[in-house]
Amino acid sequence: MIKKSIALSLMMITNTALANSSDVKIVNFVLDEVEICTSNDDCTDVSLNQLPDPKKENIIVKTIDDSQNMVMFEHNGIEKWIHWSEVTLNTKDVASVMCTSIAQADDKSTYATLGLGEGCK
């Protein structure tokens, strides 16, 4: 019981520290190859060995583009954009509005989408 309490306390301290951190960082690349863009029309698939290792250096997110669902970081002085579904960040976003919309009435073929954001009503 004491071990669980200590583990829970450490987890809460860690989560609080992350939530209070002003720097959003990339802590992991989800895929072996990720699409990196240097401009709107210049995107290529890049293997992880051509990117900085998040375990060895801090990869600070400089800009977030909500309209394209991308984050920007700098590597070797070059701005690189990556889709946020291809990275794990050190923080989570908190939704101000949550909603669901059901695609079909039949239970067997119902698909629900969960909207997190201001556009969902």
pLDDT digit string (tens) for 15-64? 433 343 458 999 999 999 999 999 877 999 999 999 999 999 999 999 99
* Parent domain of 98: 93-121
Contacts of 86 (CB under 8 A, 6+ apart): 29, 30, 31, 34, 35
Judgement on whether residues 38 and 80 belong to the same structural domain of the protein? yes
Residue 55 vs residues 2, 25, 29, 96: alpha-carbon distances, Å: 31, 11, 11, 31
Judgement on whether residues 51 and 63 belong to the same structural domain of the protein? yes
* pLDDT confidence band for 80 (50 / 70 / 90): very high
Judgement on whether residues 70 and 107 belong to the same structural domain of the protein? no
CATH number at residue 38: 2.30.30
User: Count of CB atoms within 10 A of residue 87's CB?
Assistant: 21
Judgement on whether residues 28 and 83 belong to the same structural domain of the protein? yes
pTM exceeds 0.85, yes or no = no
Nearest residue to 60 via CA among 72, 50, 47: 72
Residue 79 maps to a domain: yes
Judgement on whether residues 42 and 29 belong to the same structural domain of the protein? yes
CA pair distance 92, 24, nearest whole angstrom = 9
The number of CA neighbours under 13 Å toward the Cβ of 17 is: 6
Q: Which residue has the tokens 């809460």?
A: 12
Judgement on whether residues 45 and 101 belong to the same structural domain of the protein? no
